[in-house]
Chain A
Amino acid sequence: MREKIAIGTAAAAAALLANNLYQMFMVLPDEALQGAIYRILFFHAPAALVGMIGYFVALTFSILYLSSKNFLHDSLAASVVEVSLVFSVVNLVTGSIWARVIWGIWWTWDARLTSALVCVLIFFGYLVMRRAIEEPTQRARLSSALCIFGCVDVVIVYKSIDWFRTQHPGPVLDFRTGGGKMDPAMAHIFWLNFLAILLVAVALVLVRTRQESTAREIDSLRRLAHTAA
């Protein structure tokens, strides 16, 4: 059943992506100032959003784990962090390529770039720490605590943006500017593509969560064999 949902989600994501790509290249014109490259935005920004949402979903699951001690919550938190990290890396790489064309540099220590990078480093540390702990209960407990610290830190980092001079383009989405800067046709594709990437992420999380349960089963069988022998 779980696999069918994952496959279904992936199929829906693929169909939506095909449609979006067609729209992006065949229907939408080049942007006046940036030319063709602006299309990277359709992946760059949704990847950032999906990553950011993911970290806070993981925070929710971490808190849920601590109150319920249900391992499914821990598995979900770990899976969501891992998948979010993939999309955060997509975000950084696509952003870097865009910056090479528009700014002429691959990287700059701008506040938003810095905070995105810090986010990646924090949750990379989360995954590294998970690998270093073998006992599942201890791992779940400690990584939940780390996830809470990490998310609070992300909020603080993000807040300090306003105090740091910034080079990054300002917000272009409706909900942040309170009335669009973006062309409605573009905004439409943008949100469709956000949905597509979100579906890809959900499918990946489902697969990853299943693997976590398998790993836990292996661990408990090992312990059983250990005590029986």
Chain B
Amino acid sequence: MKTIRHALLIARKDLALELRTKESLNAAGAFAIVILVLFSFAFEETEQIKEIGGGLLWLVFAFAGALIFNRSFARELPNDCLDTLLASPLSPASLVTGKALANFVMLLAMELISIVIFGIFFNVNWTRHIGELSLVFALGTWGISILGAVFGALTVNLRLRELMLPIIIYPLLVPLLIAAIELTKLLLSNQSMTPNDFLWTKLLIVFDVVFTALAMLLADTILVN
């Protein structure tokens, strides 16, 4: 209970700071829009786009996500705020969860903008399976966010932090991205899910649960030096 309350406190503080400075949202949003525009020049036919749309979207999310995650713990560095938080009653696990929550909200906002632009540029109607699509987005985004928070914490004091984070998280995200891409592709091409596709949903859930648990477990190790 206390962990959740503290996590919400951190998430709220981070979102308030982000809304004020817009450091990562501006960068991530601009990046997503530019990539989508560039891709709309590269691909013209709408049939083709339904095949690769899922992959395109999730790669944009993963890359824009890295911009958000890099700031996540780096935001605590000026004035040694990270030390202050760790010396307070707040547990490292709640700190990581709070950061993941803030990442999750920011990334989802970015995803919403991206998919609207995607729909307009590529003339794809993505609203037909909006319920399932939201579920897939939420599950996939949480997985990315929790890993982003953990490895944001892990790399926060390293040289070349901005470079190190993507090198580490992208390989780890492969199973999640494969599953999310497969499902998104399916939902965009207007097919309904077969039992076989539920396996991908299951993979997303397993990924989220396993890595959230691992993050809680290792938060102390990662943050207390």
Q: Interface residues, chain A, CB within 8 Å of chain B?
A: 66, 114, 118, 121-122, 125, 128-129, 132-133, 137-138, 141-142, 144-146, 148-150, 152-153, 156-157, 160, 163-164
Which of B167, B203, B206 touches A128 (beta carbons < 8 Å)?
Answer: B167
Our pick among A122, A132, A141, A160 for the contact of B160 (Cβ within 8 Å) is: A132
Most buried by B among A133, A137, A142, A157: A142
Chain B residues, Cβ within 8 Å of A66: 221
Complex partner residue of B167 from A125, A137, A142, CB under 8 angstroms: A125
Please tell me if the beta carbons of B172 and A122 are within 8 angstroms of each other in the complex: yes
Chain B: residues with CB nearer than 8 A to chain A?
Answer: 147, 150, 154-155, 157-160, 164, 167-168, 170-172, 174-175, 178-179, 196, 199-200, 203, 206-207, 210-211, 214, 218, 221-222, 225
B168–A138 touching, CB < 8 Å:
no
**Is there an interface contact between B203 and A163, defined as CB atoms closer than 8 Å?**
yes
> A157: nearest residue on chain B (CB-CB)?
B175
Given contact pairs A125-B168, A138-B157, A146-B154, A156 touches B225 in the complex (Cβ within 8 A): no
A145–B171 CB distance below 8 A? no
Question: Chain B: which residue is nearest A138 at the CB level?
Answer: B225
Chain B neighbourhood of A160, CB < 8 A: 175, 178-179, 203
Q: How far is the CA of A153 from the CA of B151 in the complex (A)?
A: 14
The SS class assigned to the B binding surface is helix
Does A133 lie within 8 Å of B171, measured CB to CB? no
- Bound Cα distance A133, B150 (Å): 17
Do A142 and B154 touch across chains, with their CB atoms under 8 A apart? yes
Complex Cα–Cα for A129 and B150 (A): 14
Kindly list chain A residues whose C-beta atoms are within 8 Å of the C-beta of B225: 137-138, 141
> Which chain A residue lies CB-closest to B171?
A121
Q: Within 8 Å CB of A118, what residues of B? A: 171, 174
